[in-house]
């Protein structure tokens, strides 16, 4: 039986699409990597085996449309990729499983907590895990020490996040940033901890990556780092929140102690480095979708492997660009 994979909101995630293609090939499995997106000019549309235009994840009927595509394409594994849809898919996991489709997403309750930076840090700190002290404006102590960090409570990708150095800047950014939280400023090297869990919440792999250069919220240059304190921190987080599939934990190391400031229960933008280091999350997820057991491989990766990234482009002539709507499947009208 073919193991077809659906990646939602594929957008610029060309490396992720290619990684799943390579995983299927390496396992000797027949199958296609299908993507959905709201824009036919998204680059991942043009490297996938097939692509479908869908409405925004916030639109009525979005999950119904994805379910119809899964039925039509005989999808075995769905990979949600954006924060906006994680809670939605988390609440619908059982629905898809009844149709024979595994969705690599954490339960809705976990996604809800992780989409709330205040709730994330409060949950971790309540269980003894080092996490950034985080406040909403009404609970901010009068004698709080500067510098601080202001960002949207539900933001992503570093958008709307600002270091504030004094009370004047704090007052400005609290009025400028929508629904802000304030965090203690963590001054130290920044790491992403790429983590993969099976569908029972068991951690399979942890790969810490130092974010040496960051561009638009995504690692541009960095390296893997086999640091037991970082690996232990990630495993501790999986005991507090039940995860499934790929997640990424953001932290900084302050005075030798790693401290979490947010968790994203989805694939990270820097996942190509983790895969290149030998932790093949896409391959393991395909194996799980095929009903195979994947043994934990925590700490088994190439340490001090560097990644330095660059932009790549897909070129389309004007005729091709003008007829993309005909080249990308439209929402299915004939599938019940």
For the question of whether the overall pTM of this predicted structure is more than 0.85, the answer is yes
Token pair listed for 65: 């449309």
Q: Is there a cis peptide before residue 185, judged by omega within 30 degrees of 0?
A: no
Residue 62 lies in a domain: yes
The whole domain housing 226 covers 187-308
Residues 98 and 149 in one domain: no
HSE, CB side, 13 Å, CA atoms: give it for residue 114.
30
The pLDDT tens digits for 69-86 are 999 999 999 999 999 999
Residues 59 and 80 in one domain: yes
Residue 114 lies in a domain: no
Phi-psi region of 312 (alpha: psi -120 to 50; beta: other; left: phi over 0): beta
With bands split at pLDDT 50, 70 and 90, how would you rate the model's confidence at 264? very high
The pLDDT tens digits for 213-231 are 988 778 889 999 999 999 9
Residue 224 lies in a domain: yes
Residues 219 and 285 in one domain: yes
Residues 162 and 194 in one domain: no
The pLDDT tens digits for 318-333 are 776 665 555 455 554 4
Residue 121 lies in a domain: no
Three-state DSSP class for residue 116? coil
With bands split at pLDDT 50, 70 and 90, how would you rate the model's confidence at 335? very low
* Mean of per-residue pLDDT scores for the chain: 93
Q: What percent of the chain has pLDDT over 90?
A: 86
Question: Residue 208 pairs with which residues in a beta bridge?
Answer: 193
Please give the tally of structural domains in the chain: 3
Kindly list the distances between the CA atom of residue 283 and the CA atoms of 56, 77, 178, in Å, as whole numbers in the listed order: 28, 12, 39
CATH number at residue 211: 3.30.470.20
**CA separation for the pair 92, 80 (Å, rounded):** 12
Residues 70 and 150 in one domain: no
Residues 192 and 152 in one domain: no
The pLDDT tens digits for 172-211 are 999 999 999 999 999 999 999 999 999 999 999 999 999 9
Three-state DSSP class for residue 5? strand
């Amino acid at each position: 039986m073919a193991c077809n994979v659906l990646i939602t909101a594929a957008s610029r995630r060309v490396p992720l699409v290619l990684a799943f293609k390579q995983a299927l090939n390496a396992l000797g499995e027949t199958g296609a990597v299908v993507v959905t997106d709201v824009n036919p000019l998204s680059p991942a549309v043009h490297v996938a085996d097939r692509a479908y235009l869908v409405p925004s994840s916030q639109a009525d009927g979005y999950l119904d449309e994805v379910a119809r595509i899964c039925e039509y394409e005989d999808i075995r594994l769905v990979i949600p990729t954006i924060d906006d849809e994680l809670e939605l898919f988390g609440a619908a996991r059982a629905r898809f499983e009844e149709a024979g489709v595994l969705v690599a997403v954490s339960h809705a309750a976990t996604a809800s907590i992780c989409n709330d930076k205040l709730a994330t840090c409060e949950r971790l700190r309540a269980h003894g895990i080092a996490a950034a002290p985080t406040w909403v404006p009404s609970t901010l102590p009068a004698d709080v020490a500067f510098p601080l960090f202001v960002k949207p409570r539900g933001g992503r990708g570093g958008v709307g996040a600002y270091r504030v150095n004094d009370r004047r800047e704090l007052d400005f950014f609290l009025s400028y940033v929508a629904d802000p939280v304030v965090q203690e400023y963590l001054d130290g090297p920044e790491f992403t901890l790429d983590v993969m869990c099976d569908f029972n919440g068991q951690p399979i792999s942890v790969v810490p990556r130092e974010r040496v250069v960051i561009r638009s919220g995504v690692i541009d240059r960095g390296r893997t780092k086999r640091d037991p304190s970082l690996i232990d921190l990630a495993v501790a987080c999986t005991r507090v929140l039940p995860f499934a599939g790929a997640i990424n934990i953001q932290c900084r190391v302050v005075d030798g102690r790693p401290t979490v400031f947010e968790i994203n229960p989805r694939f990270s933008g820097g996942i190509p480095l983790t895969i290149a280091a030998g932790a093949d999350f896409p391959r393991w997820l395909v194996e799980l979708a095929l009903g195979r057991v994947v043994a934990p491989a925590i700490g088994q990766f190439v340490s001090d492997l560097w990644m330095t990234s660059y932009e790549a482009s897909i070129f389309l002539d004007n005729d091709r660009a003008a007829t993309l709507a005909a080249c990308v499947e439209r929402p299915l009208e004939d599938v019940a």
